[in-house]
Every structure is written in C-alpha cells, then in structure tokens.
Structure 1
Amino acid sequence: MPRPPVRLVLIVCAVLLAVAVLGLGLVRAATYEEPRTAPIAGQAAVPARGTVGRCGQVPARATRELRGMWLTTVTNIDWPSRPGLPEDRVKAEYLRWLDLAVAQRHNAIFVHVRPSGDAFWPSDHAPWSEWLTGRRDARSPGWDPMAFMVAEAHARNLEFHAWFNPYRGSQPGPSGPGADFAKLAPNHPLLKHRDWAIAYPDGARARLYFDPGNPAARRFVEDAMLEAVEKYDVDGVHFDDFFYPYPEGGGNEFRDDASFARRADKAQSRAQWRRQNVNTLVREMSERIKQLKPWVKFGISPFGIWRNRATDPAGSDSRGLESYDAIYADTRTWVRQGWLDYVVPQLYWAIGFDKADYAKVLPWWSALVKGTKVQLYIGQGDYRIGEKGAWSEPDQLDRQLALNDRYGVQGSVHFSAKQIRADRLGAVTRYRTRHYAAPALVPTMDRLPADPPSAPRTTAARRTGAAVTVEWQAGAGPKAASWALYRVDGAAANLVATGRAGSRVVDPAPPPAGATYCLSGLDRSGNEGALSNPVSVSP
C-alpha cells in the first residue's frame, strides 16, 4: 500500500541493492493465463468465483474480489491538488476521484486521513492537516471533510478505508520544516509531550515521530485513530508500512536510547524490543477496533519482503530489504496471530526482477495466509508503469493480476489514484478490460458479524433510455446495507450492478430486449441474502 514516501524508499533500496531486471524474453516467458468464464454481453470475461443462487432457472454468479486504490494526501500527491483550496474545490476534486473509482469498477477506496500526525476531521487529538488547510494552526476549515468523504463513497457503494500513519508526528511541508517545534500547530500534542517525540533523520529532512516504545505515546496515537472510527461510519482502518522509519544511512540513528534503557527487558536486544512495540500497537488496535465496532475491518499494507530465505528459512525467495530487521515489522506474526482482517503486501516489483521477483514473492504471501482467516490482497505498483525494463511493457500489471488469480489472491489495491488516471502506456485500460470488466462484490469475512437480509421482491423493470431501472420492495427481516443486481445472459445470470440500499436499482448497460433480472441484498459485511423473484423488462 502506499505512497511516494514509500515508493521513494523502495526506489532507493533498489538502487542500493544494485537491482537488475531480467531481459524481455525471460519476462515474456513468465506469462500466465487463467481460464475465463463466458463474458457478459459487450464485456470481457472475468475469473469465475462461484455462484450465489438461482435467478429463475439459471445460476447467478458474481466475482468476489476487493478492488481499490490509495488516495494519497501527504505532499498533495493525489488530493487535494494543492493545500489551502476552498471547500467547493476540494469536494469537487474528491468526487472526480470517486468517479474514477466507479469507472474502474472498484469497490473500495483507501483515503489518507492521518498522513503526518494530523487529521482530515475535527479532532481532539491532532491538528488539522496542512495538506488540506495550507497552514499549521488550530483554525478549522469550516467543514467536516471526513463526513463528506465517507458519505459520498458510500453513496457509490464504495467501502471507505481510513488510512492512518500511526507514528508520524510531523514532516516538512509548505508551512515549515518537520522537526522544528516552533513551527508546529499550537495544538500539536508533541508540544505538550516533548518526551514522546523523536526526530529522524538529521538535517532539513527531519521528521518527528511519536516514540513507539513509550506506552503513553502509543496509547495516544491509538486513541487518535479510534476517534475517527467512533465518529464516522468507516468500513476499515488501514496502515501502510510506516512503523519505525526506514534506515537512512549516513550515520543517522533513530535516537530511542533513553526509552530503550528505561523500558526494555534486560534480556531483550533493541531489535527485539522494537518489534515488540510494533506488535503491541497492532494487537491493541485489532482488539480495540473490534470492541468499538466489530464490523470494521483492520488491515495493513507492509513492505513486500518479511525476510529473505538466505537469512531465515521461513522467508521468501528474495534478496531485498527485510522489513522484519529494517523497520521492525513482523508481518508474519500479525497474520499468524490473526490480528489482521486483511494484509496488502506492497509487491511493486516486476515479474522476473532478480532481487524480488513478483512471481516468486507472491507465492510466499499466499502460503502465509493459508489456513488463517486473514485475507490476502496485493498492493499493485501502478506508479512504476513506464519505467525502463519490464515496466515499459503495458501488460506487466495485467500479467501480475493473472498471477494473483492463480494464487487465490482476494483483491488488489493500486498505488496510486493519480497513476490510475494517467493510464500510462494504456496499461490501466488493459488490466481493467481483462480483469475488472464487470462489477465485483467485496469478499466476505467469516470473522465479521453476519446478518444477511431476506430476499427482496422485485416489482418492475422499466427501460429508461439505454438503461433499465428495476424496482423492488424489501423483504421482512434484517435490513440490507447494499444490493446486487443480476441479469440473465444465456445460461447464467451475471452481476451487472451494485449499490446502496434503496427502492430502485439501475443496470447502466444497454440490455437485450426482454432482459430478466434478479436482485439480492447484502449485509454490512458483504454477506448475501437470497435472490428475488425474476422480473423482465416491460415492453
């Protein structure tokens, strides 16, 4: 998952590791194809993911796959386009990003709401984000961006995953340097608790971090994030790979000596203590989210290598930076302990890349989640399209998504929104046509509450221009949070549209004359109820 700061780290790491890309012929030899179901009329085929019941005499089927993109706010990478814009401009830009997500047939969006110890909502724990307001002070922009963002995402039946950087306290921005206390917002918590703050690296690029080894600081950042969960109807809490900072080299040290001396067990090395600190944050957040709102998902997008096999026999067939040792992120433990609902490793490498071959690292992650209830999504490196070597080929991500199908991956998140819109080399259009040609329902999670609604009763299907509107009435019993519309096409009824609960649903594609439809309701966790009676388009 996540963002140019991360991407820059990956690029730097790649340079330091003297990365080499395999030749064109070898890369092409690694192409994989998956069997496809018969396509919906006018659309490319999609991987079969199972039937969901019967629409009249034919089986109904839908793809279950999370599809999303990261919308990055730090340094205004994606949104807002620049700091200090008026409310109407910020809102209009956000809606265009949602339009893009809908056009790509995504069903989730991951929005950066706490990029640097700040907030995109009125918070009692953090100052307003300068990437929104253009300033570091306590003045409100006069509206609630988070309430708007969640409501508008849900109106389009997109899950809203609130993306947080837990430990980041401040970084260089338009209003000043990152580690100068005199330049922080007057209500910044690190002004009151300077003993919680650690500056890293040295010099003008310094950022402030909340000390991960200080229990009071850790509890505070948990409270700051959970404030948003309590106030807003978010679907997920999401972290990327920023825990302890990536090593900068050049003599830079993360100066937590005093904290380590005071709080570590005598038998612990500093590395063990740091990993324990991160593990504690992850475990506590998992527990506290479920105590507060059991239906909210918790996921993390870690760096794509836990450890290399040469270091640890349990590691992946890779030779890159090891997040277990470099940033103290023990991803394997988080998955095996079941602290996460989903994991989204950032596999921003090409098929055939010698230090971290996508086709070799992916199976490691697939094996890791096997037998757990943790779902595997993949962080896809759209930002790399157009680079030299394998990334100059427009089918690189297309082939990676085909590999994902082969290894049972349950979804993808693309970094980032701006690269999806740019569609360099036509690569995004290519993988959308081949892999996202029809809508998809989000995967269900056994560990979340389940209360599927009873079957609705469809009452009419009327043609309105090129579209068809299906009218329906809810059945007795649990209320639906969203709906799924199926259209009979030959021997099956395929999913053609989804939406939030209401009394009318629309098939946007021009259907054949006399088309037949069925409708189902889904609960908050995506569990689907029985299908409705069939209804055909009125002449």
Structure 2
Amino acid sequence: MGRISRRGFTVAAAGAMTALLATGEAGALEPEPQGRTRRKREFRGMWTATVANIDWPSRPGLAPDLQRAELLALFDTAVARRLNAVILQVRPTADAFWPSRYEPWSEYLTGHQGRSPGWDPLAFAVREAHKRRLELHGWFNPYRVANHTDPGRLVPGHPARVHPDWVLPYGGRLYYNPGLPEVRRFVQDAMLDAVWRYDLDGVHFDDYFYPYPVSGQAFDDTAAYERHGAGFPDRAAWRRDNIDRLVRETGERIKRRKRHVQFGISPFAVWRNRTTDPRGSDTRAGVQTYDDLYADTRSWVRKGWIDYIVPQIYWEIGNRAADYAKLVPWWAETVRGTGVHLYVGEALYRAGDPAQPAPWQDPAELSRHLTLDAAHPEVQGNAYFSAKQVVSDPIGAMARVVRDHYPHRARPPR
C-alpha cells in the first residue's frame, strides 16, 4: 500500500470530519431509511495497521504529541463514520506498542526497535477510544518475528536472539516456529501481557498462522515435527493441531481471568473449496486456510473456541473464484447455532484502486455488500481495512455505506 505523509494524513482526517459534519453524516438525527430494519447492536470496526506504518503512526520517529494527534484524528473519524470499534495492531512483529515485560518496543514508533517512545501508546489508545464510546480491540500477530531474515538486525536481548532455535526463515521473513510448545506458551504470555494490564475490549488475531505458501520454498520444521509429531498421521495434521492449541489455549486463558474480553480472529475467507471438501464453500480459491495455513477456522467456530470471527471476504459480488455473495451465506451457515458472532471483513482499500476490477470503481459496491449481509441474520456487523481509507475515502464508498446503512451510531454486540 502507498504511504501518506503526516501532513496529508492530518489534512485528510480534518477534511473528512468537516465534510461529514457539514452534511450531517456525523449526527444521529436522520430517520431510518424506509424498509430497513435497524439492528439494536451491530459491529462496525476499523482495522488500524501499524506494521510498516500502514495506518499509524504515519512514519516512525514522530514526536509523541504528533503520534497522539494522528491517533485521535483516526478515532474521531471513526466516530464521524458512526463506527464503534477500532482494531489496533499492537504487536505487529514480535514487538510491542506498550512497555512489554517480554518483547521490545516496536520500531514503527521510533524507527529503532527497543527504543522507548517516551509514552504508553496502548494506555492512551484505550483511554481515548473509551472516551469516544469506541471499543478497542488489541490486534496481535502471533508468530511473525521480522519482515527480514537477519536475526542480527533484532535488538540485543530479543527473545528470537536469545532462543535462535525458536526461529525459522521463510519467504524473506523470520517466524517463530509454531511447532514448539515453548514458543506457543511464550507468544501467549507476550500477547496476554497487554490483556492483563490494559482494559482492552477484545483480543484479535489476523490471518497469519503458518505463513502463506511461497513457491519453491519449504517451511523447515522437520526437527520439531520429529520431536513432537508422534501420533499424527502426517505433518499437516500436526501443524493444524499446533494452531488449534494456540487458539484454544489463548481463549481459555482470557476467559479464566477476564471473561468480558472478547477473543476474535479475522482469517482468509476460504476455509476449503467445495471441490476439496463437500463442506467447503462454492469457491475456487488458490489458498485454503485448512490446507495452506493449517488454520481450521471452521472447527474453531463450531467448537466455540472464539467469540467472533471476521472472515476477510475481500472480493466483489460476482467474483469468479471467490464470490462475496457465495461466501457470506457459507459463513452464516457455519456460525449458525454456535453463539460465535460473525462480522464480515471488507476490502475498503480496493474501492477506487485503478488496479482493481470494475465493481471496485463503483462507490456503491461496498454498500451492496451490507445490503446482502442484511439478508443473513447471522451477520452481526462489518470491519473495514483499513483506517487510512476510512479517512481518505477516495471515491466515497465509505460515505455511501454510512449514508445507506449507518443512520445512527450503534452499540457493538456482546
């Protein structure tokens, strides 16, 4: 994704707020659109990515007051768009946006891993989000260590340098090995440090478990498989069990200590294609989470290990390989009767991108998604990737969603 300067970001945020206020978009006085049934509770989330400074801060090394001002501009725009939850990435690469007991400060704050930014971003984010009646969900990436393969570039004392046997290079990145029980316990401890110390509303994992496949490369976990894989029919089953354990144990630990904190995951939207498994979706996706990421997302829902799931249905209605209109009913059926909330992940970043197909050039495409979702009572909301586009809204797709579907603010489901 392209970068946006601090000045450009701030101006865009201010412009979005001004336009919304001027048109009444930030108010809550409009009548309900005729024929629309208003949900009493509905999730309206905004992903805010910090890895590579995608959304915030706009660049590393900003003064603390500027970092705070940028985050507040994002929160205020979320309120203006009548959203009610921010999913803030606080552990993007085995690092932290809070003074962690386990891992170094993130380089995306100061430009130098391990250097304190001079303030506590997570404490500030929780406080300011709650002032605005926004939920704050901490977004954690469990296993990604670095977007490079050189452990020597990590700060001295980094757990990946202290325990080099925990780490594997793959596809130009470093990863913790999910097959090691000591790694699974450590990453849980590192993530839950934030949950125990801050008033988070949710713990959020994205779609990165075992890494996405890279052609011609192997994720070399042979030694771990030989040590821990006895009793499994093959390596794939063992890998799925490793991720199952991470998900189940994380959820159990959260509920034992902070039962009110929600645990959610936003996976790649295709569990398996129907041609692979009759229980799968009517899709022809090149990636299947069960087979390629070793993430049995359907099972996590059916077993009730998570509170909510946000499949990233990042395709348009009518897409030949993965049709939005086919995936939403499949997920609705998957969550039915489980008590797990279904929110749909929306590719706002594609709206107006000239590299995307024709439907994404139409400001009404996302609004049509929510109209389709309304026909499925299991769908209890949506989340938008990402915050930068919520602010800039280049072709007005987000404004159209607000106009058509968000006439009033709503409280998130519980």
Q: Calculate the TM-score normalised by the size of structure 1.
A: 0.70
Structure 2 residue aligned with 1:278, among 219, 235, 243? Answer: 243
Q: Secondary structure at the match of 2:99?
A: coil
8 Å CA contact 2:269–2:313 kept in 1: the answer is yes
Encode CA deviations 1:420-448: one digit per residue, 9 max, x unaligned.
Answer: 1121221111111011121111113xxxx
Match of 1:196 in 2: 166
Encode CA deviations 1:502-523: one digit per residue, 9 max, x unaligned.
Answer: xxxxxxxxxxxxxxxxxxxxxx
Distance in 2 between residues matched to 1:94 and 1:189, nearest whole Å: 29
Distance in 2 between residues matched to 1:191 and 1:41, nearest whole Å: 56
8 Å CA contact 1:44–1:433 kept in 2: the answer is no
Match of 1:71 in 2: 48
Q: Secondary structure at the match of 1:244?
A: coil
Q: Secondary structure at the match of 1:406?
A: coil
Distance in 1 between residues matched to 2:132 and 2:29, nearest whole Å: 23
Q: Secondary structure at the match of 2:44?
A: strand
Distance in 2 between residues matched to 1:139 and 1:331, nearest whole Å: 36
Work out whether 1:261 is the aligned partner of 2:231.
no
Work out whether 1:81 is the aligned partner of 2:31.
no
- AA aligned to 2:119 is W
- AA aligned to 1:391 is W
Match of 2:254 in 1: 289
Distance apart, 1:66 and its partner CA: 0.7
Work out whether 1:317 is the aligned partner of 2:282.
yes
Distance apart, 1:398 and its partner CA: 0.4
Q: Tell me, which stretches of 5 or more residues in structure 2 are unaligned?
A: 3-27
Encode CA deviations 1:463-515: one digit per residue, 9 max, x unaligned.
Answer: xxxxxxxxxxxxxxxxxxxxxxxxxxxxxxxxxxxxxxxxxxxxxxxxxxxxx
Encode CA deviations 1:339-373: one digit per residue, 9 max, x unaligned.
Answer: 01000000000000010110011100000000101
Distance in 2 between residues matched to 1:302 and 1:339, nearest whole Å: 14
- AA aligned to 2:48 is L
Match of 1:185 in 2: 155
Encode CA deviations 1:398-438: one digit per residue, 9 max, x unaligned.
Answer: 00001111112101010001111121221111111011121
Go from structure 1 to structure 2 and tell me whether the alpha carbon gap of 1:163 and 1:267 turns closer, same or farther (over 3 Å shift). Answer: closer
Match of 1:157 in 2: 133
Match of 1:343 in 2: 309
Work out whether 1:139 is the aligned partner of 2:108.
no
Distance in 1 between residues matched to 2:83 and 2:214, nearest whole Å: 36
8 Å CA contact 2:107–2:115 kept in 1: the answer is no
RMSD of Structure 2 on Structure 1 (CA): 1.5
Match of 2:70 in 1: 93
Q: Calculate the TM-score normalised by the size of structure 2.
A: 0.90
Distance apart, 1:267 and its partner CA: 3.9
Q: Secondary structure at the match of 2:213?
A: coil
Aligned residue runs from structure 1 range 135-534, under 5 A: 135-136=112-113, 138-171=114-147, 178-201=148-171, 206-249=172-215, 251-320=216-285, 321-386=287-352, 387-408=356-377, 409-444=379-414
Match of 1:502 in 2: none
Match of 1:15 in 2: none
Match of 1:24 in 2: none
8 Å CA contact 1:166–1:243 kept in 2: the answer is yes
Identity of aligned residues (%): 54
Q: Secondary structure at the match of 1:430?
A: helix
Q: How many residues were matched structurally?
A: 384
Distance in 2 between residues matched to 1:443 and 1:191, nearest whole Å: 42
Encode CA deviations 1:19-56: one digit per residue, 9 max, x unaligned.
Answer: xxxxxxxxxxxxxxxxxxxxx75355284246xxxxxx
Match of 2:21 in 1: none
Distance in 2 between residues matched to 1:43 and 1:125, nearest whole Å: 50
8 Å CA contact 1:70–1:110 kept in 2: the answer is yes
Encode CA deviations 1:292-333: one digit per residue, 9 max, x unaligned.
Answer: 201000000000100000110000010002111011110011
Encode CA deviations 1:135-155: one digit per residue, 9 max, x unaligned.
Answer: 12x332221111001000000
Aligned residue runs from structure 1 range 98-137, under 5 A: 98-136=75-113
8 Å CA contact 1:385–1:425 kept in 2: the answer is yes
- AA aligned to 1:257 is T
Distance apart, 1:254 and its partner CA: 0.7
8 Å CA contact 1:112–1:163 kept in 2: the answer is yes
Distance apart, 1:187 and its partner CA: 2.5
Work out whether 1:48 is the aligned partner of 2:13.
no
Give the strand-richer structure, 1 or 2.
1
- AA aligned to 2:102 is H
- AA aligned to 1:310 is T
Distance in 1 between residues matched to 2:88 and 2:399, nearest whole Å: 23
- AA aligned to 1:433 is R
Distance apart, 1:209 and its partner CA: 0.8
Give the helix-richer structure, 1 or 2.
2
Q: Secondary structure at the match of 1:303?
A: coil
Match of 2:6 in 1: none
Distance in 2 between residues matched to 1:93 and 1:42, nearest whole Å: 29
Distance in 2 between residues matched to 1:291 and 1:182, nearest whole Å: 38
Q: Secondary structure at the match of 1:169?
A: strand
Structure having the higher Rg: 1
Distance in 1 between residues matched to 2:74 and 2:232, nearest whole Å: 50
Q: Tell me, which stretches of 5 or more residues in structure 1 are unaligned?
A: 6-39, 51-62, 172-177, 445-539
